[in-house]
Structure 1
Amino acid sequence: MTSRADKKPSTAKRMIWVILGTLALIAVIVGAKVLLVVRMIHSMPKPGPVTVSTVKAAEQDWQPSLNAVGSLRAANGADLATEVAGLVTDVHLKSGQDVKKGQLLVQLRDGDEVAQLQQLQANAQLAKLTLERARKQLAAQAISQADFDTAQADYKARLAAVAQQQVVIAKKQLHAPFDGRAGIITISPGDYLAAGTQVVTVQQLDPLFVDFNVPQGELARLKVGQAVRLHLDAWPDRTFSGRLSAINPKVDTSTRNVQVEATVPNHDKTLTPGMFAKLTVDVGQQRRQLTLPQAAIVYNPYGDTVYVVQPAKGKDEQGKPNAPTVKQAFVTTGDTRGDQVAILKGISAGTEVVTSGQMKLKNDATITVDNSVQPADSAQPTPQEQ
């Protein structure tokens, strides 16, 4: 006879049934949630086309160039100073005045030195008369050769004393060493100047030199006589032209750069030594090159890309033409020129690419083209005040 205990299900079986029931309940809940999410996704409106600007890649005349920055330097420039101490008696100069080589600029008091010079000149004149008399006496054998030699030596010594005193007087005058423009002068008659006191600067402004450095790897592209263009912040609307005039024969071992010098005409005295300049040196021959605005390039560590516009195909459910789409394409870029970049490989002339709005795009994204505003695409951009 079977007991009641034998008819009751075991504890293990009860646990299995509880677990199975719980799993079934979870499956029902998850299924319901997934169905709800799918319905919500289908009910969401599809994203509209992204508004972008585009441009067609085109070939342009391209002059290979090398960009650098440099400083202007006067062909001749000097900070003039007095060689001896003295009291200023005359200032023959105004600040900013153009001066000629040899022009007297500043006069120190030299009355004592001039008086002493006159005395030495009188002694030299007397020595000259004595020498002439001795020459006649020697011819008449009235004096010995030794006496004549003494008179001749005395005359030469007197002349040397005169020349020495003239040098002393010359040091009391400050002259322009070359043609140029004087700076600001602050001394006045009556000022006492110590030896070595800087009085004024004189700078030769035409032509000017511009010094800049280029990496040693660019040396093969540089030659004396190449055209150089300068752009300065002070004159954003002007371009100054010059010629490459010298290349330093030594490379700086600390930077591996080489110093280069260009000569720039400055007939109107617009440029000033010490100014900062941006330079473009024309290197190589002009050629045709496929270009794009730099804004069209998406720079990535794994490669530079552009978004190429794909023409619209077919119609949507309402019968309207579909919007155009984009495809990402890898490109190989070359030199840059202003706002432009050369495209060496990846696309061909006439390809329409996106120039703005790339951050919102991905492959096969739909777009709306609005070219009312275009990014900068100038070969020689001009800085604009903000």
Structure 2
Amino acid sequence: MTTRVEKKPSTTKRMLWMILGVVLLIALIVGIKALLIVRMIHGMPKPAPFTVSTTTASEQPWQPSLSAVGTLRAARGADLAMDVAGLVTGVNLTSGQDVKQGQVLVQLRDGDDVAQLQQLEAAAQLSQLTFERARKQLAVQAISKADYDTAAADLKAKQAAVAQQQVVVAKKQLRAPFAGRAGIITVSPGAYLSAGTTIVTVQQLDPLFVDFYVPQSELGRLQVGQVVNMKLDAYAGRSFSGKLNAINPKVDPGTRNVQVEATVPNHDKALTPGMFAKVSVDAGSQQRQLTLPQAAIVYNPYGDTVYVVQPSKGKDDKGQPLPSTVKQTFVTVGDTRGDQVAIVKGIEAGTVVVTSGQIKLKNDAPIAIDNSVQPADSAHPAPQEN
């Protein structure tokens, strides 16, 4: 009788089938999870576009200039004092008064000196008559040449004494050395003044000088006769213009700056010596530059950038146009002027860039444009009062 033997799968095959089953189970679970995640992502609402403001880069006339800080100085100014001591008998001046050249401002007591001057003048007149008589007598040889020479020498001595006394009398008067405006005077008649004591200042206010410094690297851009524009905090919204009239021939070895002097008309006497001024020198001919508001530039250590607006591409599932996006672009900036900055390289005229809201942007970020409020973009901004 034949016995039937049943064959059983080997242990290795059973292990392989078990591993295959586990792998298939894991793959199934992963697939289900991935499908759920994809459905969840598609079901999530898309992020709303970021609201920004934009502007279009355009070319504008640009006057190259050098900026500096200056100080106003009178064309002529002096602190006046007496050469001699004495008692004040007259003050022909009020504080802030405009004075003429040679005008007597303060008078010291000079009665004794004037009396002595009159005495010397009388002696000089007598000596003059004596000399004239001697000259006529010498012509007819009525006197010797020695007598004539004595009369001539006496006349010169008497005239010299008169001139010396006139100087003494003049020292008792304080006169304006030039036309200008007087400062505050506190001297009154009856006061005693010592020699050398400052009494009043006189400043010539038209024109005025403005002194400022520029780096030696900019020296080649300066020329005598260039237009100088000046603004002061005391006169917001008003600009003063003048001419560059002198450049110091020596560069300061400590700062490597050179001193420059300009002349500014001051017909209405609005400017005062010592005032602080913001100076701008027109250096070179006018050019055309591509400009943007400074607010549009994102300044970074690795380079300056702007966000360029990319037009909408395509439509969404509902047939609505997709929002515009942005692309970060590196630019090379040049000189600045007020609220504007010149763009040397990176974008072209007509490029639309973001001017506000850049902090929340990145490449390909969707945006919504709202230009109801624009950043400052003035070439010559002025302070605004609320």
Structure 1 distance, partners of 2:327, 2:66, is 33
Q: How many angstroms does 1:219 deviate by?
A: 1.3
State the match for 1:180 in structure 2: 180
Q: Secondary structure at the match of 1:119?
A: helix
Output the CA distance in 2 between the equivalents of 1:107 and 1:124. Answer: 26
The one-letter code sitting in structure 1 at the alignment partner of 2:266 is N
Aligned partner of 1:84 in structure 2 is 84
Paired position in structure 2 for 1:245: 245
Aligned pairs for 1:322-341 within 5 A: 322-341=322-341
Map 1:149-168 → 2, pairs under 5 A? 149-168=149-168
Equivalences, count: 354
What amino acid sits opposite 1:127 in the alignment? S
Other-structure match for 2:104: 104
- What SS does the aligned partner of 1:235 have? coil
Cα distance, 1:115 vs. partner? Answer: 0.8
The answer on 1:65 being equivalent to 2:65 is yes
State the TM-score, normalized to the length of structure 1.
0.86
Q: Give the corresponding residue for 1:17.
A: none
2:304 matches 1:292: no
Distance across 2 between alignment mates of 1:303 and 1:270: 45
Instruction: Name the amino acid aligned to 1:166.
Output: Q
Distance apart, 1:316 and its partner CA: 3.0
Amino acid at match of 2:341: V
Give 1:165 shift. 0.4
TM-score (norm 2): 0.86
Aligned twin of 1:373: 373
Distance in 2, Cα, partners of 1:191 & 1:118: 27
Distance 1:83 1:61 in 2: 58
CA distance in 2, matches of 1:226, 1:123: 61
Gaps of 5+ in 1: 1-30
Aligned letter for 2:85?
A
Q: What does 1:114-125 align with in structure 2 at a 5 Å threshold?
A: 114-125=114-125
The CA distance in 2 between the partners of 1:121 and 1:58, in whole Å, is 82
Correspondence for 1:15: none
Match runs of 1:139-154 below 5 Å: 139=139, 143-154=143-154
* 1:229 pairs with 2:229: yes
Deviation at 1:142, TM superposition (A): 5.6
CA displacement 1:153-198 (0-9 Å, x = unmatched)? 2221111111000000001111111111111111111111111111
Query: Shift of residue 132 of structure 1?
Result: 3.7
Deviation at 1:214, TM superposition (A): 0.7
1:194 corresponds to which residue? 194
Residue in structure 2 matched with residue 259 of structure 1 by the alignment: 259
Return the offset for 1:385: 3.9
Q: Gaps (5+ residues) in structure 2?
A: 1-29
- SS of aligned partner of 1:374: coil
Counterpart Cα distance in 2 of 1:110 and 1:385: 58
Q: Residue 27 of structure 1 aligns with which residue?
A: none
Aligned equivalents of 2:140, 2:57: Cα separation in 1:
105
Q: Which whole-Å CA distance do the structure 1 matches of 2:73 and 2:369 have between them?
A: 50
Distance (whole Å) between structure 1 residues aligned to residue 139 and residue 314 of structure 2: 127
- 1:322 is displaced (CA, Å) by 1.9
SS of the residue corresponding to residue 207 of structure 1 reads strand
Paired with 1:126 and 1:225, the residues of 2 have a C-alpha distance of 60
Residue 61 to residue 137, structure 1, CA distance change in 2 (3 Å): closer
How far apart in 1 are the matches of 2:136 and 2:368? 114
Question: How far apart are residue 143 of structure 1 and its match?
Answer: 4.8
Q: Following TM superposition, by how much is the alpha carbon of 1:272 offset from its aligned partner in structure 2, in angstroms? A: 1.1
Which residue of structure 2 lines up, in the alignment, with residue 310 of structure 1?
A: 310
1:324 maps to amino acid: S
1:201-220 CA distances to partner (integer Å, 9 max, x unpaired)? Answer: 11111111111111111111
In structure 2, C-alpha distance between the alignment counterparts of 1:142 and 1:315, rounded to whole Å: 132
Q: 1:123 corresponds to which letter in structure 2?
A: A
Q: CA deviation at 1:151?
A: 2.9
Per the alignment, residue 19 of structure 2 pairs with none
Q: CA deviation at 1:125?
A: 2.4
Alpha-carbon offset, residue 265 of structure 1: 1.1
Return the alpha-carbon distance in structure 1 between the equivalents of residues 283 and 138 of structure 2: 78
Distance 1:287 1:136 in 2: 82
Distance 1:87 1:325 in 2: 86
SS of 1:186's equivalent in the other structure is coil
Counterparts of 1:184 and 1:240, CA distance in 2 = 27
